[in-house]
Structure 1
Amino acid sequence: MRSIPRAAAAALAAAGLFAVSPGAAAAAPAADFPACLAQLKAGAAARGVSPATFDAATADLQPNDVLHFQDEQPEFTTPVWDYMAGLVDQERVDDGKAMLERYAEPLKRIEARFGVNRYVLVALWGVESDYGKNFGYRSVVQSLATLSCYGKKPGYYEGELFAALSILQRGDVRADNFVGSWAGAFGHTQFMPSTFQRNAVDIEGDGHPNIIDSVPDALGSTANYLKKSGWVAGLPWGFEVKLPANYAGPVGRKNRHPMAFWSAHGLRRADGSPLGPGAGGLLLPAGRSGPAFLVTTNFEAIYTYNAAETYALAIGHLSDRLRGGGPLATPWPTDDPGLARVQRRELQERLAGKGFEIGNRDGVMGTKTRAAIASFQQSLGMKPDGRASASVLKALQDGR
């Protein structure tokens, strides 16, 4: 769904691993912004956006602070055990189970219509916006106009800006409610505007697909997206497996073979049972010493939503937990694991108690919290990497 790493920052923020405070980075220069907007107005008109819609959406508009995000891809640099600890924690599991119960009726209809299981849909919702708690706070139009004028992919962002303006013109979103991520993704499941245009469906039947104010519309639209991306009804996304000692066979999620092939190579499900039918590829997100997974084409459908294996793995594993499954059988290969969000909030409270400035005590590892961690680590002779880890929390708990 995204050709940019927008969801990388969004998912890391949802995990409590990464955040940038409003105003933390300088906005783009504004001197030539009106001239750029004038050019964009002509392009929007060619795409069917009326001058009145454009003028109303861009009145008094100034560029904002999104440009630096283009070079930040935390999803590809954060250790997988930190990433998974924040996105698939007990808090998100409990909240997701509550949402499964609350929206059981529309989820049943969505499953019947699109064939995408409810657990994956709710897991994706939980990762993308923490079940609607974190849509992002930036104006979608302002961000896309800034990126159109000053970004590295102006043509891409122009298309998204014109799509956003068309959405406003149709009345599918209120202008005062049109906020989202740095790159313009919005709503419960964080669609880019062009993705909304291609995939949004009106589950509630009020004449407008609305992924901001309507959870059923957002989940139904996401199911439509996954179905179009190749989702196969009844097929699991994958499952954890045990590798035989000294495994030397093929690896890679795209190196798919029948399950009989993997069985012949000594692989079994993590609980020791046979692999079953179908085909899959072997995913080793932390190498041969960490958890191993056989993933199917449904994993690829999730992957299209945000092109990172760790992201798709988090969605898949969270969906299993929502279904009633337990934690991974094989531990991550680290002696200093990551922290769940409740632990990150405790870490922030303890740092604040020592006089460190940490900003909001919300479990989000923002700039101030990471700087405080680094200062605390340095005071103890630890590597000052600013990482919220079990060793840092233990040192705080021990009163060091």
Structure 2
Amino acid sequence: MPSLRSCIGAFALGLAATLGSAAPLSAQHSDVEFDRWLGALKQEAISKGIRAETVESALAGVTPIARVLEKDRSQREFTLTFTRYLRNSVTDTRVERARRLLEEHRVLLERVEAKYGVQPRFLVSFWGLESNFGEYTGGFPVIGALATLAQDSRRSAFFRSELLNALQILDEGHISVERMSGSWAGAMGQLQFIPSTFVNFAVDFDGDGKRDIWNSLPDIFASAANYLSQEGWRGDETWGREVKLPPQFDHSQASLGIAKPLREWSETYGIRKNDGGRLPTADLEASIILPSGHRGPAFLAYKNYRTILIWNRSILYALAVGHLADRIAGGAALASLPDEQPISLQAIEEMQALLNAKGFDAGEPDGLVGRQTRAALSAYQRSIGEPADGYPTLELIEKLRAQ
């Protein structure tokens, strides 16, 4: 993918052609550079066994897509809170529709479950969250989007590999290039699989010789189930549950890096079901998740939660998949969600710098609240006698500023 400057040049070239003027030299250079890159890409694809006619047909007329570059360069200005995320993703309307669709496709979903061991409610939950049950699959041409990102220097190796996978999918005849649409980053179909996920996990469940995650519900559900199954999904377990923590709980134990048997969480740490009852005695290991810090809901996350994270590494997404699946099965909405204030990424960077200055190693200030930042924040919270949940708040940032 070209640089932003190159894209501006490409735009200028088109404008000049429209006005009947000579193209700027920078635009001409940009086109030559992209064409040279595209030629090398074609040779590599053919060397990997993809037919020359497929390569030429798929890449004919491909040019960098400025909108893809804009999407790739854009960044949120504020953190995304669990409360906002859940309210947007698990709505009553979506729950009701998911229940209707599960009943409508129950026979198919149970056939898929029998083969792959993934419960229907989870398959419908993924379907709903990924594409709103097939309604929003993205309007970008996958080949053009991936070519744009692959030629760009920022993540070229990753997207070049994905582009070659996409060409392989076309060469195998699963979809035509005109119908291969997806997101700006090349996520495709009703499951939003990237091409490598398609190559590794998509299946032809309807037996028509194609793996069609765009239109065939048998292929869509079976591909999702195959992916989850191969990544370790346990069909006899759920994803986790909402729980109550005792008043004196050590919040530093809330981490995906800490897993303990349910019996230990119950007997040693005093954790209970959300209704106050004792936890089951099943032989399961679980981790505590606090998506809104100690003031928000608490969850015990099991092995299947970790498998959801392989699909999408966002803890908020994984909790939404699990909660929507529970709601589909008749479970209740969360009892309460805290009023969370989003924090600007600039404020997060400032918080990281302040933690570093006080001897709490938060890593390079980048506005991203990862494991190192949470560990540093937890240590700071312990030092001032607050619950060490590692969750950033505006209140904590103000305390850091004042000290």
The partner residue of 2:265 within 259, 262, 265 is 262
**Aligned equivalent of 1:371:** none
**Aligned equivalent of 2:94:** 92
Separation in 2 of the partners of 1:198 and 1:28? 38
1:114/1:224 contact within 8 Å kept: yes
**Aligned equivalent of 1:225:** 227
| Aligned-pair CA distance for 1:228 | 1.1
For the residue of structure 1 that corresponds to 2:222, the secondary structure is helix
Superimposed CA distance per residue, residues 184-213 of structure 1 (whole angstroms, 9 cap, x where no aligned partner): 110111111111111011111111111001
| Aligned-pair CA distance for 1:28 | 8.2
1:199/1:221 contact within 8 Å kept: yes
Question: CA 1:74–1:305 in structure 2 vs 1: closer, same or farther (change >3 Å)?
Answer: farther
Higher relative contact order (CA 8 A, sep 6+): 1
1:136/1:180 contact within 8 Å kept: yes
**Aligned equivalent of 1:288:** 294
Question: CA 1:71–1:313 in structure 2 vs 1: closer, same or farther (change >3 Å)?
Answer: farther
Q: Which amino acid in 1 is paired with 2:259?
A: R
Separation in 2 of the partners of 1:157 and 1:28? 22
Q: Note if 1:127 corresponds to 2:132.
A: no
**Aligned equivalent of 1:311:** 317
Superimposed CA distance per residue, residues 345-385 of structure 1 (whole angstroms, 9 cap, x where no aligned partner): xxxxxxxxxxxxxxxxxxxxxxxxxxxxxxxxxxxxxxxxx
Contiguous gaps of at least 5 residues in structure 2: 1-6, 11-29, 343-403
Identity of aligned residues (%): 38
Separation in 1 of the partners of 2:305 and 2:104? 26
Separation in 2 of the partners of 1:28 and 1:152? 19
TM-score (normalizing by structure 1):
0.75
Question: CA 1:211–1:335 in structure 2 vs 1: closer, same or farther (change >3 Å)?
Answer: closer
**Aligned equivalent of 1:179:** 181
Question: CA 1:114–1:135 in structure 2 vs 1: closer, same or farther (change >3 Å)?
Answer: same
Say how many residue pairs are matched. 311
- Aligned pairs (5 A) from 1:1-400: 29=10, 30-31=30-31, 32-64=33-65, 65-72=67-74, 74=76, 77-248=79-250, 250-264=253-267, 265-276=269-280, 277=282, 278-329=284-335, 331-334=336-339
Q: Which amino acid in 2 is paired with 1:314?
A: A
Contiguous gaps of at least 5 residues in structure 1: 1-25, 338-400
For the residue of structure 2 that corresponds to 1:134, the secondary structure is coil
**Aligned equivalent of 1:342:** none
Separation in 1 of the partners of 2:240 and 2:116? 19
Separation in 2 of the partners of 1:151 and 1:124? 32
Separation in 1 of the partners of 2:46 and 2:154? 23
Following TM superposition, the consecutive aligned residue runs of length 4 or more in structure 1 with deviations greater than 4 angstroms are 26-30, 71-76
Superimposed CA distance per residue, residues 25-46 of structure 1 (whole angstroms, 9 cap, x where no aligned partner): x778452221111111011112
RMSD, aligned CA: 1.9
Question: CA 1:151–1:126 in structure 2 vs 1: closer, same or farther (change >3 Å)?
Answer: farther
Q: Answer 1 or 2: which has greater helix percent.
A: 2
Question: CA 1:56–1:237 in structure 2 vs 1: closer, same or farther (change >3 Å)?
Answer: same
TM-score (normalizing by structure 2):
0.74
1:139/1:178 contact within 8 Å kept: yes
1:188/1:215 contact within 8 Å kept: no
Separation in 1 of the partners of 2:286 and 2:260? 6
Question: CA 1:258–1:108 in structure 2 vs 1: closer, same or farther (change >3 Å)?
Answer: same
| Aligned-pair CA distance for 1:236 | 1.0
Question: CA 1:73–1:110 in structure 2 vs 1: closer, same or farther (change >3 Å)?
Answer: farther
- Point out the more displaced range, 68-77 or 35-44: 68-77
| Aligned-pair CA distance for 1:151 | 4.5
Greater Rg by CA: 2
2:81/2:340 contact within 8 Å kept: no
